[in-house]
Amino acid sequence: GNSVTQMEGPVTLSEEAFLTINCTYTATGYPSLFWYVQYPGEGLQLLLKATKADDKGSNKGFEATYRKETTSFHLEKGSVQVSDSAVYFCALRDGGGFKTIFGAGTRLFVKA
Amino acid sequence: NAGVTQTPKFQVLKTGQSMTLQCAQDMNHNSMYWYRQDPGMGLRLIYYSASEGTTDKGEVPNGYNVSRLNKREFSLRLESAAPSQTSVYFCASSREYETDTQYFGPGTRLTVL
């Protein structure tokens, strides 16, 4: 079945450091891929998405590229801020259905 | 715009008690969802409602029932709570034909003793 695996956290970085959170997936067909972010005490928010191979999703300085050959969708940001401290979830949706599969989440702490 | 609202924010139940989690959205979305979030397991879909008047099982429906009361409201009921249902519950909504962009509520933290 479909699944998403992302790196375990927590990840602790200093402000302005480079961020990478790894995500790999298993899916039949051609899934759409997403990153959601959950700030403390809030629900999840869509951060970025990519719907086909080689697409790059980007938002708020974050980027992720849909790599079909390595079945990966790694999240990157060149310079993190304290305000980026949150839990990040990688997710996939296969086809046009209503079911989204989420990874376990990676907690990011950014120190000033 | 309130977006997606959930009540209550916190709840403690004893094993065997029942309760209903409420969810409402003011974005005129057709589709609504209930998820549970457990440590190390991400979010898992319990039930969803593709449109008003329809409901379908998700990945982990056992022990739950849902009601799509109208277009705005989608409730989740635990008839006889069990400790295994201790979790954080999230409601979400989306426009029917843009199922990828889901909007989430702030969650309900439920503890079953």
Q: Do A44 and B102 touch (CB under 8 A)?
A: yes
Instruction: Find the Cα–Cα–Cα–Cα dihedral B74, B45, A94, A73, rounded to 10°.
Output: 120
Residues in a beta bridge with A111: A14
pLDDT value at position A100?
87
Q: Is the pLDDT of residue B98 over 80?
A: no
pLDDT value at position B49?
94
Which residues in chain A belong to E strands, given as ranges?
Answer: 3-6, 11-14, 19-21, 23-26, 32-38, 44-50, 56-59, 62-65, 75-77, 86-93, 100-102, 106-111
Q: Check residues B40 and A6 and name the one with the higher pLDDT.
A: A6
Q: Is the pLDDT of residue B97 over 70?
A: no
Q: Is the pLDDT of residue A97 over 70?
A: yes
Q: For residue A14, which amino acid is it?
A: S
Short-list A94, A48, A87, CA closest to A71: A94
Q: Do B58 and A99 touch (CB under 8 A)?
A: yes
Q: Is the pLDDT of residue A38 over 80?
A: yes
Q: Distance (Å) from the C-alpha of residue A14 to the closest C-alpha of chain B?
A: 25
Q: Give the pLDDT mean for B57-80.
A: 95
- Contacting A with CB below 8 Å, chain B residues are 4, 31, 33, 40-45, 48, 50, 56, 58-59, 90, 92, 99-107
Q: Distance (Å) from the C-alpha of residue B42 to the closest C-alpha of chain A?
A: 4
pLDDT value at position A30?
82
Q: pLDDT tens for residues A41-81?
A: 888 999 999 988 999 999 999 999 999 999 999 999 999 99
pLDDT value at position A43?
87
Spatial distance between the Cα atoms of A6 and B70, rounded to a whole number of angstroms: 37
Q: Distance (Å) from the C-alpha of residue A46 to the closest C-alpha of chain B?
A: 7
pLDDT value at position B1?
64
Set of chain A residues whose Cβ sits within 8 Å of the Cβ of B4:
43
Q: pLDDT tens for residues B10-68?
A: 999 999 999 999 999 999 999 999 999 998 788 999 999 999 989 999 999 999 999 99
pLDDT value at position B95?
87
pLDDT value at position A110?
97
Q: What one-character DSSP code corresponds to residue A25?
A: E
Q: pLDDT category, A99, cuts 50, 70, 90?
A: confident
Q: pLDDT category, A29, cuts 50, 70, 90?
A: confident
Q: What percent of chain A has pLDDT over 70?
A: 98
In this structure, which long-range contacts are made by residues B62-67, counting pairs with CB atoms below 8 Å and at least 24 apart in sequence? B64/B34, B66/B34
SS3 A105: coil
Q: Distance (Å) from the C-alpha of residue B49 to the closest C-alpha of chain A?
A: 9
Q: Is the pLDDT of residue A88 over 90?
A: yes
Set of chain A residues whose Cβ sits within 8 Å of the Cβ of B43:
44, 89, 102
- Is residue B90 within 8 Å of residue B99, measured between CB atoms? no
